[in-house]
Amino acid sequence: MPETTLQAGLRFTWNYTIPERSTVPNLYHDTEFCREMPPVLATGYLVGMMELACIAGLMPHLDWPREQSVGTMVNFNHIAASTPGMQLRIEGELLEVDGRRLVFQLIAFDDLEKVSEGRHERFIIYPEKFNAKLAQKVEKMVKAGSRE
């Protein structure tokens, strides 16, 4: 990783309007019992928004798109329900930089209250190298499938 402005203490805020597609019944529309659940923000979608907030916070400090990041660990609570149309504000802080490993503390609020907080770990990747390894994995799977 070349010289970077990426340092512990970096803070960022990211805003996102909760879409209808992010509710439990819509996100898991192919599972009958989920279609019967309340139309609130699904935890899985919330986790994705927390990851996107980190990516947005990192982009000015990376040689994007040559350098990118992937999530490797999430540990968030989901303490309040939010509905489509509400604005989600995610505030983040980079707690630790250990080579390519990054650890974030995040907190999310909807229009009325705190809805989530926790930690997230990401690794900086080089897409060209990452995609080459991924292609090798796919090739192995294709070969394994042809032996059956």
Going residue by residue through the chain, which has 148 residues, state the pLDDT in tens, using 9 for 90 and above: 445 689 999 999 999 999 999 999 998 888 888 889 999 999 999 999 999 999 999 999 999 999 999 999 999 999 999 999 999 999 999 999 999 999 999 999 999 999 999 999 999 999 999 999 999 999 999 988 876 5
Residue the block writes with tokens 């329900």: 81
Residues classed as catalytic: 43, 51, 78
pLDDT of residue 148: 58
Alpha carbon separation from 61 to 4, 12, 75, 131, 148 (Å, rounded) = 6, 12, 24, 22, 47
Provide DSSP, 64-112: TTTSEEEEEEEEEEE-S---TTPEEEEEEEEEEEETTEEEEEEEEE-SS
Residues 62/68, Cβ–Cβ less than 8 Å = yes
What does pTM read for this prediction?
A: 0.89
pLDDT of residue 2: 47
